[in-house]
Each structure stands twice: as structure tokens, then as C-alpha cells.
Structure 1
């Protein structure tokens, strides 16, 4: 090195700084790659992505080869810079070389390339993978030795270098990812994905048709009354029972009834014969589980029961699908009739409207961990049924009862408070 000219040393120094920038940018770009996009590219046989993915399978080896190369070129660059500075300025050149080289490496070999790599990881990482892969093979003995020492230290801390499960997403993390997809995901698809992710947070009793709204066939009625009810119903499946909904004996499909009508054999006994056995569902069953159970048992309707076996209501496959895709038909969407916007920004809402439906339609956040209906929410907050109309606040909402009848709040006015006191 003493025989080399200053010009050649400067050229070599510049080359080493470029190598240092390469290693620095490679490290940042490799660690900044979107793992899910990388897997997608690998599945599509993208050559550079495949090489990068193989390198990232053992991040300890990847970091090892990068840092060995980076430290080697930085130390060599420091030695060359010192030789140049001593030749030019004597002993004072050591301090000058130290300060100047620190600034040059910091700006041109660290901050700038790493920032560029963080902004455009694929543009840096994919070409770099073609250099790092053979370099890892050449330097493998040294990398193995360094990794053996570092992995030994990590084992003392009970950390395994081969554990790379950090890419797994929880449900909440996946929900955040979908919410932040923005323009990359159509609003409709985003809403459906969020609906699927929320299925396990919602139970059957949150979406069931309550027993007082269930339309069924009472076999103790006379046959003419039963036939008239069947002729007017809009449902394709109806529970049939003896006297009380708690005594459900089957589920009648209207298709089977049509066959009886064609044969002229419509009797209570024949209706019972063509009905399917009732399928009972615990009220606390998560919707995700119930959706799979419907599929497994080839059912579309279930009778919801509480812990004592009493019927609480009915849940259908359509109800669960509506949680994912929204209302499937206008006939089943009665919420528009329950919510009436007013000029002052408030809403007249039917007391029987479900709190979850109100939140979904108005983008509100009324509490849903208690009563399911607005009437239940108000009476629980008051801890009694009011004798006259009252005004109260529930979280950030001012609620005024407008009509109380038959021991229920029939209508209430609700105004969202933007700046609650």
C-alpha cells in the first residue's frame, strides 16, 4: 500500500464506500420487504423474489454475511483513508481522516442508501439478492462461525434464531390491515372482509329473530287457519309447534307443502310427516361456528335456545350471510322503517330496532354488550320502565322517549352529541 499512488488509493477508497453503501442498503431493503407481497411474487415464480425469500428464511445468516462484508469494507476504507491523510498532512492527518471518513460514511454509505432502501425496498433487495446469494456461499464458513457464537448467546436468552413466526397476523391486526387498505380494496369488498373477521365476535343471540317475532305454525289451530297462514307467509321455512313455541316439533319447508297440496293430502299429520326435525342452537354460539355448523348439517334455520332449553328465537343462514354482505333483500330490511331522520340532526327510532343495526346504518357506537334492542338499552340504563317520557344520556347520545306503550318504549328521539360535556 505504501507503493500505491494517492490517486489509486482514492479510487479504491471510493469503491469501498460504494460497497459499504451496497451492504447498508441491502440490509435495510431486505428487512423492509413486505412479506405477504413477497410470498405472492414467489408463488408467481418471480426469480428475484424467490432468491430474496430463501435468504430471509434464515435472517441470522443474511445479516451475518451483510455485516461481515460491511464491517470489512468500512475498516479497510478507514485504513486507506488514514494512509492517504498521513501522506498529505503527517500525523495530524489521522484526526482529519477520522472526522472526514466518519462524515462521508455516515452520509453516503449509511443514511442515504438506507433511506432509499426503506422507501423502495424491492428495487434494492431484488438485485442485491443475486449478489448476496453467491457471497453467502463463498463466506459460509466465516458466517457459520459468527452465527454459532451469536446464536449461542441468543440461546442463553432462550431465543431461537430459526423462529420466524413474526409474520403471522392476529384477527385484530388483520382487521387493521383491511381498514387501512384504502383505495387498494373496493369499499364493498372491504366491508365484506370486515364482516367475516367479526363473525367470531358476534354470537347467535345478537342477530336472531326474537321469539315474539317468530312466525310459526301452531298445529293446535284448525286446519283452515293453518292453510290461510301458509298461503300468506313470505317465508320458505317455518317452525311448527304444539300450542307454544317452546314445543317445537319440526321445521316445515314450503316446497314439501306444495307437494302435499298437489296430492290433496294436507292434514296436520301429513304436515308433521314432511317436516324436518328441529335443529337447536345454543344462544351463545359464535356466528363463525354456527356458519360452519349450518354447512356441516346441511341446515338453513336453527331454533335458538337458552341454557334452560327455552326457545329464545330463530336464526337462519341468511341472517349470518347478511352480517357479511349486508341486507340480501329489501323485504328483510325493515330498518329503514324504524329510523326517521329529523331536520335538527336527530332521529326518531323504533324501540324494537336492534342496537347493532342502528350502529351499522348510522355509523354510531351505542353499547352492544348488553341489551340487543333500543328499548332494552334505555330501560337498562334507567333501571326501570319510566311512567312518563324522560330524557337521558347514553354515552355520547341524548335519548328522549316519545312513546311508551304496553310496557315498552315504542319510539325514541336520539341525537348524537359531538362535544359531550
Structure 2
């Protein structure tokens, strides 16, 4: 019989110590998972409301090197002590049952490994992963105390680790920040009414959309041509539903300014109305580069105290107009006053097709129909079809674009005036 460390051990005390160390191992394992996987943004919100648990957890998370250090020091210490106790128990039992020390140590190591895996690692970490804030709140009472008790060991561990791996060289760059794509993904999963979620996503998308994507093209711009007669100008002012109109002479590139229709009430009733009278109320034009992101343009509208801009290309030619309302619609959706106007250009047919005006914006079609027609190229339906055909068709022609079947119905002046579209997956369903 080999030599044993304890000839008459108190097995009850040893088993109690072993269980205690396994519980400690479970605590450190669950604390690591619980604290590190807690939702930091929820914690920050709770902390601002005065939640003490959240404040303690955030304080731990703000020092990740110390947090991980104390957990690792503590966990490795209790695991080592558990292994020592298990060895002593194994040797004691070997002495009583006549088993060799080597065999008893092997059995003790195997049993302890199993116990630590189940009760000290997998079980606690699984529970902490499903209840992170609950576990983190409990751990936040104990870990700060252990940080003070084990500070010398933790400090030395962090000193060596930081020196070897240069962990502090980008310390100020380790801020917990989200990219736009990450925030977009979070908003997709967050528990919010769909309308509110879509508004937040719309705000994030403003930087990816340019003025050119949402502008009213010059062919559709309603304005006041000073070459027209006074009677025609008055008819336009009285019949328009727009609040602001561009004023030009001859053609849209000869812009003179912007007229607020509200000011037109001051001169519409006067006798012998002249174009000079109209020009007294015209404000200087405000030009916008077509490549300006909507986020920047929204801020410019606010800064310039404007609600309408003339969109120009790199050569200074007017391409269309953009309004503050157009940008806001990208965030909140179409305003009620304009929904019927857009839907008049989208007419359903009994065969599953929708008749659409060729001048419709692809973005408006996608928004109204909940479709995903490509928006990275042409801006209008007519442009999208011509882009796919790569030629101007001589007559009615059909084509397939992804999961959509399109039939050209009317062509005039080298543009497609009307087309029918059907989403094929609707038929398959």
C-alpha cells in the first residue's frame, strides 16, 4: 500500500470543501457569461433611471481587463483547489479500499473533470446565457469585493497581458459603438410597432439615398413661365395644389426664383395685374447638387430655412426639384394628401397585372406596392424598362425582370408612357 497524505481524513469536511469550490467555479463561469452578454444599451437606459444593479454592472463592463482578470484568477484558483481536494479524497479512499495511488488520482481527476464540466461550466454558462442580467446583477455584488481582495494578482496579470499583447494601445478606440448596419439589424428585431421601426430605419437610410433618387424630374415640374399670358399664369396659381412654384422664363433652366402660392393671394384679385407685380413676391432660387445625400440636404433645408430646392447636375442644368416633404416621406411614408395622387397612376387589372404610368418613381412603386424593383440604376419605371431593353422598342414588348413580368403598353416621344407589371410569385402562391 502506498503512502497517503492523510491516514485518517475527515471525508465529510473534504467533500464539503469540494462542493464549495465547484459552486465557486459555477459562480465565476456564470458571472463571466452573464456580465459579458448583458445588453449594454438596456443597462445604460436602466442606469440613467437610477437602477443600482445596472450601474454596478456597467462599472464592471467599463473595466473589461480587470473584470476578466478577476474572473480568471478566481476560477483557476478554485479549480486548482478543487483538484487538490479531489486528489486528497482519492488518496484517502485508495488507502481504505486498497487501491493504488496512481489509480485513485486518475479516478479522482476523471470524476472532478466531469463534475466541473457539468456543474462548473456548461450548466452555469447555459443558465447565464438565458438569464444574463439576472446573473450579472447577483455577480455585481461579489465581483467588486473580489477585485479589491485579488487586486495584486489581477494587476500583475493585466500588466503582463497588456505588455505582451499591447491591449492598451487602442484603448480609446474600444468604445462600444454600433455601425449603421449593426443598428439597422437591431432595429429589425427590436420590439416596436412596425410604423415606428420603419421610421427609424428610414432615418438610417437617408445617407444612402441622394436627392437625385427622390426628386421630381424636370418634365413633371409645374411652374410659372413668364412667357405665358397673365391669364394662363393666374389659372395655374388658382388651380395648383402645390405651396411653392418655380418661376422661369422660356424654359426651366432660366430660373428667376420661387413663388410661395400663399403670397399670390395678395395680387390675384387686383386689376391690371402684370408680371412685374408677380416678380415682387418671387424669392431667389435655392440650388441643390443632385448627388447630395438626403441626410445632408435635410440639415441644409433646416439651416437655410427652405422647403424647396432646384436640383442641378454637374453642368448646372436643372434636373428637377426636391422638397422637404419629399425627404420626410422617406422617413414617415407618404403623407395622406398625396396617397390618392400616387395611386391614380397604379391601376389593378383582373389578370393580376398593374397598369402604371411610366413616369412613376421606382421608389414610389416599391413603397406603394411593397415590391423590390431595383433602385440602383434608373429612377423612373420608364427608365428602368429602357435600361433593361437597352433600346427604345418600336411597339408593345414584354420582358422579365427578376420576379416581375413587364409589358410595355404605350410609347411616346422616346419614353414609355404606360406599362403593365405583375409579380410572378403572386401567381405561384
TM normalised by structure 2 equals 0.92
Q: CA deviation at 1:407?
A: 2.7
CA distance in 1, matches of 2:182, 2:373: 24
Choose from 66, 69, 72 the match for 1:67.
72
Partner of 1:191: 198
Partner of 1:105: 116
Q: CA deviation at 1:159?
A: 6.1
CA distance in 1, matches of 2:396, 2:344: 22
Partner of 2:177: 168
What does 1:400-415 correspond to in 2, within 5 Å? 400-415=407-422
CA distance in 2, matches of 1:98, 1:338: 78
- Which deviates more, 200-209 or 110-119? 200-209
Q: Could you say if the C-alpha distance between residues 356 and 89 of structure 1 is closer, same or farther in structure 2, counting changes exceeding 3 Å?
A: same
> Structure 1 regions of 5+ residues with no counterpart?
none
Choose from 365, 371, 375 the match for 2:378.
371
Contact 1:280 1:304 in 2 (8 A): yes
What does 1:54-93 correspond to in 2, within 5 Å? 54-90=59-95, 91=101, 92-93=103-104
> Structure 2 regions of 5+ residues with no counterpart?
96-100
Contact 1:327 1:333 in 2 (8 A): no
Q: Could you say if the C-alpha distance between residues 170 and 352 of structure 1 is closer, same or farther in structure 2, counting changes exceeding 3 Å?
A: same
Q: CA deviation at 1:400?
A: 1.4
Root mean square deviation, CA, Å = 2.0
TM normalised by structure 1 equals 0.94
Q: CA deviation at 1:419?
A: 11
Partner of 1:228: 235
Partner of 1:126: 137
CA distance in 2, matches of 1:375, 1:262: 41
**Is the aligned partner of 1:178 residue 2:187?**
yes
Partner of 1:141: 152
Contact 1:241 1:249 in 2 (8 A): yes
What does 1:158-307 correspond to in 2, within 5 Å? 160=169, 162=171, 165=174, 167-181=176-190, 184-261=191-268, 266-307=273-314
Contact 2:234 2:268 in 1 (8 A): no
CA distance in 1, matches of 2:339, 2:249: 27
Partner of 1:339: 346
CA distance in 2, matches of 1:111, 1:54: 27
TM-superposition CA deviations, 1:300-355 (whole Å, max 9, x none): 00111111111111111011111111111334653212222333433222211111
Q: CA deviation at 1:404?
A: 2.3
CA distance in 2, matches of 1:89, 1:419: 75
How many residue pairs get aligned? The number is 416
Partner of 1:312: 319
Contact 1:60 1:161 in 2 (8 A): no
Could you say what secondary structure the match of 1:412 adopts? strand
Choose from 25, 33, 55 the match for 1:28.
33
- Which deviates more, 318-327 or 330-339? 330-339
TM-superposition CA deviations, 1:375-417 (whole Å, max 9, x none): 1111122122111211112233221112223332222222223
Q: CA deviation at 1:67?
A: 0.8
Contact 1:154 1:161 in 2 (8 A): no
Contact 2:347 2:355 in 1 (8 A): yes
Q: CA deviation at 1:373?
A: 1.0
Q: CA deviation at 1:162?
A: 3.6
Q: CA deviation at 1:213?
A: 1.2
CA distance in 2, matches of 1:249, 1:198: 33
CA distance in 1, matches of 2:85, 2:352: 75
Contact 2:9 2:92 in 1 (8 A): no
Partner of 2:46: 41
CA distance in 2, matches of 1:225, 1:141: 88
- Which deviates more, 92-101 or 388-397? 388-397
CA distance in 2, matches of 1:71, 1:413: 70
CA distance in 2, matches of 1:235, 1:354: 19
